[in-house]
Structure 1
Amino acid sequence: MSIPGSRLLETARADAPAVWVRVEHVQGSAPREPGASMLVHASGEEGTIGGGHLELKAIAQARRMLASGERAAVTDFVLGPSLGQCCGGAVELTLRRIDARETPWLEALVPLDREAGTVWLDTRVGAVDAPHTVASVVRPAGAALRRPAHGVLRLVSRVDGAPWNVWVFGAGHVGEAVVRVLATLPLRATWVDPREDRFPAGLPANVTVLESDSPAHEVAAIPPGADVLVMTHSHGLDFELCVALLAREDLGLVGLIGSETKAASFRGRLARRGVAPRAIARLQCPIGAPPRGPGGRHVLDRHPGAIAVAVGFDLWERHRVAAPAAAAPDGAGR
């Protein structure tokens, strides 16, 4: 997972200093992709940049920055024998101190958790009092180091908005298992349920919980392109959610937990409600990995963990196929 802007802002406002470690550029094979990030506190970490010696070295450098007051740095690592890793590639990391002084630019960054677009985070490296600024100017992809006239290194980082959003309706045993699997992927999960005290504590930073008396009314707030999973405690609520979701043509997957018998029942009820056949055809039920049984039928497993793994795999495959890497602007590269 990567650390969302909202979590960085929360850290800054709490004024509990941390260091944001981010993969900026990769050459060859590497554990994580550009944009992957983690947050290092004095006594712990959130997220991952791939584990192994690379991550341990980055954590150690981040802790030194916390102790010294250094505000920004850039470090290159070759993933060879010296790090005990055999990837063979090279990784460039940026490290930025997050505390109360960073609140202004983080407030400008947070909307990217919900909106499309690209901004460039422009940081002066090497000056203790270096400010951070967010600009909406498109520049070559990847990290770019340059030396201004006054001799202070300058780091420009690309931050992309409109992340992969997945909404999950239902906080039962299956819903919790699914959300915990999804939280390990590079996405933003929104978890909705009308019941009080259904959400566990200690959820990852990329999971937002929404306790709503009327979950179907929350459908209007779902960002375009988001994937949606319906698995509430009530078939009646499941149905009303499906009606509301299928009325929107700008969503990704609309998935409903259940058997093929439930799928047939819901499709019949949706037709009687007046939902167009084209919209009904968009409803995916059952959900999860592709059919594996005789005759192409879904092989159902009622274990929450098994369902969660199947659903996570299916969503990841759909996302990977539908979202090829965007082309870099002209002149990109190093």
Structure 2
Amino acid sequence: MATLNWSAAIQHCQQSGSAYVIATIINTQGSTPRDGGSKMVITADVTYDTIGGGQLEFLLVQQARELLAQNKNCQLLKAIPLAAEAAQCCGGNVTVMLESFAACTWQIALFGAGHVCQSLVTILAGLPCQVRVIDNRPELMTTPLPANCHYEFYADPTAAIAQLPDNSWVIIFTHDHALDFALCKTLLSDQRWAYAGMIGSQTKALRFRKRLGDAGFAEAAIEKIHSPIGLPEVKGKLPMEVAVSIAAQLQALYYHNQAPQTGSSSSWRDIKTLLQEQKTTEILCE
């Protein structure tokens, strides 16, 4: 068991984008190792806090890791008679809610740590994504970033592309058009990304498309790099206005391509049955 308590563990998992399960005791009858409201957090390889230890906790950790293996958001309600199912001598009954939260799969790489990037990360801080801010100017990497964002210094930012996770979303807005072009060439030579976009005018975009074609890249591949980036309906040239336009476009594309969540959960019929059984048990115990 790790040293963080359950609330700190949730924050840690959210910041790192890791999948996790919250186990909460929502009802107890008779003698139980922990009271209602007790919580623990379970990840694929670590547990935080405790709901009583012993076989009860062992069984719930197993169940939680089965949910984690599905990497889906879901909720399950589980009733456990401690003597019969968990072989614990206290002999009471507990009902536990397991809430599973999938790992963050939306990985965004921002090439360029300038004004638009600084505005954009303030918006991305509130979205379900993990963000890399990549630049070759360490003096721009002193402003604190939101919890789901971090800096990565590269003397040659094009070298960062090979280190990106598969299906990353890549945004280019560096201070140097030559670097922008080099990044586009490297992206087209390593097409593991899910989305690529570059800031700039229509004139810049057309010039880059011609130069990339002259460099031997197919037109169909070049068209995969979206430029200019951002929703044209969102007007304005201030850094935050540009950032709003980019963020709105990214969010629209991300959710358009997301498959609906189909994680399992306890049906209302199961929950109702559990609640009725608990009520009967409480009456019998009075």
- Give the alignment's TM-score, normalised by structure 1: 0.60
CA 1:273 to 1:94, structure 2 compared with 1: closer, same or farther past 3 Å? farther
For residues 102 and 162 of structure 2, the distance between their equivalents in structure 1, rounded to whole angstroms, comes to 24
Q: Deviations over 1:135-167 (max 9, x none)?
A: 642479313332143346455342423521111
One of 14, 20, 24 as aligned partner of 2:7: 20
User: Matches of 1:178 and 1:124 in 2, distance apart?
Assistant: 39
User: Residues 228-269 of structure 1: CA distance to partner in whole angstroms, max 9, x if unpaired?
Assistant: 100111111111111111233332221001000010011111
Alpha-carbon separation, structure 1, partners of 2:39 and 2:255:
28
**Equivalent in the alignment of 1:175:** 117
Q: Write out per-residue CA displacement over residues 81-118 of structure 1, whole angstroms, 9 at most, x where no aligned residue.
A: xxxxxxxxxxxx98547xxxxxxx65836xxxxxxxxx
* Percentage identity across paired residues of the two chains: 26
Deviations along 1:48-91, whole A, 9 cap, x unmatched? xxxxxxxxxxxxxxxxxxxxxxx974569xxxxxxxxxxxxxxx
Matched letter for residue 7 of structure 2: W
> Residue 100 of structure 2: which of 158, 168, 175 is its match?
158
Q: SS state of the match for residue 138, structure 2?
A: coil
Q: What is the distance in 2 between the residues matched to 1:74 and 1:317? A: 38
Q: Which amino acid aligns with 1:137?
A: E
Please name the residue that 2:255 is paired with: 320
Q: CA deviation at 1:175?
A: 1.3
- Kindly state the Cα deviation for residue 332 of structure 1 after the two structures are TM-superposed: 5.4
Indicate conservation of the 8 Å contact 1:73/1:126, yes or no: no
For the structure 1 residues 244 and 177, does the alpha-carbon distance in structure 2 shift closer, same or farther, using more than 3 Å as the test? Answer: same
Structure-2 separation of matches of 1:234 and 1:225: 25
Give the TM-score normalised by the residue count of structure 2.
0.69
Q: Specify the alignment match of 1:257 in structure 2.
A: 199
Structure 1: tracts of 5 or more residues without a match: 1-8, 23-36, 40-45, 47-70, 77-92, 98-104, 110-120, 293-298
Shifted more, 129-138 versus 179-188: the winner is 129-138
The equivalences for 1:16-165 within 5 A come to 17-20=4-7, 38=11, 73-74=24-25, 95-96=39-40, 108=45, 125-126=51-52, 133=61, 136-138=65-67, 141-147=74-80, 148=82, 149=85, 150=88, 151=92, 153=94, 154-165=96-107
Q: CA deviation at 1:179?
A: 1.6
Q: 2-side partners of 1:124 and 1:145: how far apart?
A: 17
Task: From the superposition, tell whether residues 126 and 247 of structure 1 become closer, same or farther in structure 2 (CA, over 3 Å).
Answer: same
* Structure 2 portions without partners, runs of 5+: 16-21, 28-36, 272-286
CA distance in 2, matches of 1:156, 1:19: 14
Deviation at 1:21, TM superposition (A): 7.8
Whether the 8 Å contact between 2:158 and 2:183 is mirrored in structure 1 is yes
**In terms of Rg, which structure is larger?**
2
Checking the alignment, whether the CA contact within 8 Å between 1:123 and 1:133 is kept in structure 2 is no
Q: Which structure's residues are more often helix, by fraction? A: 2
Structure 2 SS opposite 1:190:
strand
CA separation of 1:233/1:95 partners in 2, compared to 1, >3 Å: closer, same or farther?
Answer: farther
Q: Is the 8 A contact 2:110 2:170 kept in 1?
A: yes
Cα distance in 1, alignment partners of residues 151 and 100 from structure 2 = 28
Contact 1:191 1:209 in 2 (8 A): yes
Aligned residues: 236
